Chains A and B, each alone.
Chain A
Amino acid sequence: MENLHLFGAALGLGMIVIGAGLAIGKFAAAAAESIARQPSAADKITGAVNLPLFLLEGATILAEVFVLLIVFS
């Protein structure tokens, strides 16, 4: 029973990956769709997708850091 925190950390890591994967998939799908619809605006679409993608990445990394803190503390 004393290693339950590792169980929680592993579960949390899995859930982070599911969430981040879904989000990145949605980003990629939306970007590909809109570029296919309007290829001339590809640069602008990439720029618009980049920023929220990095914010998403920041949230994911933060969650992973907290999981690492659970494991190491």
Chain B
Amino acid sequence: MQQPEAHSDHGTEHGASHGEEGFNAGEVIIDHVANSSPDHPILHLPSIAGVDLSISKHVLMLWIVATIVFTTITWTTRRYLKQKRPIPTGFMIMIEWLVQAVRDSIVRPNVGGKYVMTWAPLILTFFCFIVVANGIGLIPIFEVVGLIDHYLLHTGEHSFLKRLIHGGTTATANYNVTAALAVITFFAIIIAGTKAHGFVQHWKNLVPSGLPKFVYVILIPIELMGMVVKPFALTMRLAANMMGGHIAILAILSFVFLFYELFQSAIVGVGVGVALSIPLAVGISTLEILVILVQAYVFTLLTAVFIGMAINVHH
């Protein structure tokens, strides 16, 4: 993070000539990736029991994602069920393929044949939600609103539209969102173990039986820690992956402005943009499409593996 400081120094050198404040790459990138500040959410709502219910940009994105997933999938499935001959067409083919792939290649090998239909719905929900939430962050919907605002409407600094523009972020890049998903996994593991073995037996299954007593002194704390570490690793993996990709893209795109400030000429900035930033950003965006799918797959696979570990105990 030395870069922005160095350039703000540079900015003061040349600042007198054009009278603009320097471009702070770090600040802009964090502003794009992070949630909106508590003082300026998109929509102010009263806080209930100390919980601020204001709609920030990640909350907005979560609702959009939930709406998209819910409407497309229920609408397609309803339409399919209404048909006289049950032959899937169009989008339904994709849903059927997805359901079958998740059930047969993620859930069944890990959870086992007996509990497939119990846990496949949860894991499918995870998969659909995470794929859409990850993917929607790469689509610049709200930037179009921003362009219209910039050139046609000219609203104020903290207007509703200005706050809405920053909504186009990845909700899964927020640790709180992924933590909520991982908490569901945490309870799913306990419920799976309880359903398969009974409540007491599930906790007994955490450690293998028939070991010398002093081993348990070490083993029980480790296993209890492992219960928390599993969801924590899920949280961090998803959020950090999504955030990392966006930071990389934005950092590369900010070269344009950094070089413009360095040489004080728009041609250098645009040249760096065309020659370096845009090809690299396109490459990283392509990589991000892969990361989106892989991260959704990893989250669901690991959830299935953890649930399977609680059900099929090998001691």
Residues of A whose CB lies within 8 Å of any CB of B are 3, 6, 47, 50-51, 54-55, 57-59, 61-62, 64-65, 71-72
Contacts of B244 in A (CB 8 A): 61, 64
Residues from chain A with a CB closer than 8 A to the CB of B298 are: 54, 57
Is B302's CB within 8 Å of the partner chain A? yes
Interface residue tally on B, bucketed by range: 10 to 19
Determine how close the nearest CB of chain B comes to the CB of A46; give it in whole angstroms: 11
Q: Decide: B237 and A58 in contact? CB cutoff 8 A.
A: yes
Interface contact B2-A6, CB-CB below 8 Å: yes
B236 and A65: CB pair below 8 A? yes
Asked if residues B237 and A50 are in contact (CB atoms below 8 Å), the reply is no
Q: Decide yes or no whether B312 CB sits under 8 A from chain A.
A: no
Contact status of A61 and B1, CB under 8 A, knowing A51-B301, A54-B301, A54-B302: no
A71 with B1, Cβ < 8 A, contacts A50-B301, A61-B241 known: yes
CA–CA, A16 and B278, complex, Å: 28
Task: List 12 additional contacts besides A57-B237, A62-B237; criterion CB under 8 Å.
Answer: A6-B1, A6-B2, A50-B301, A51-B301, A55-B233, A59-B233, A61-B236, A61-B237, A61-B240, A64-B244, A65-B236, A65-B240
A5 to B2, CA, bound (A): 12
B305 within 8 A of A: yes
Instruction: For A62, give the chain B residue with the smallest CB separation.
Output: B236
Question: Closest residue to B2 on the A side, CB-wise?
Answer: A6
Q: Give min CB distance, A72 to chain B, whole Å.
A: 7
Q: Chain B nearest CB: distance from A54 CB in Å?
A: 5
- CB-CB nearest in chain A for B232: A62
Digit string of B281-315 for contact with A (CB within 8 Å is 1, else 0)? 00000000000000000100110010000000000
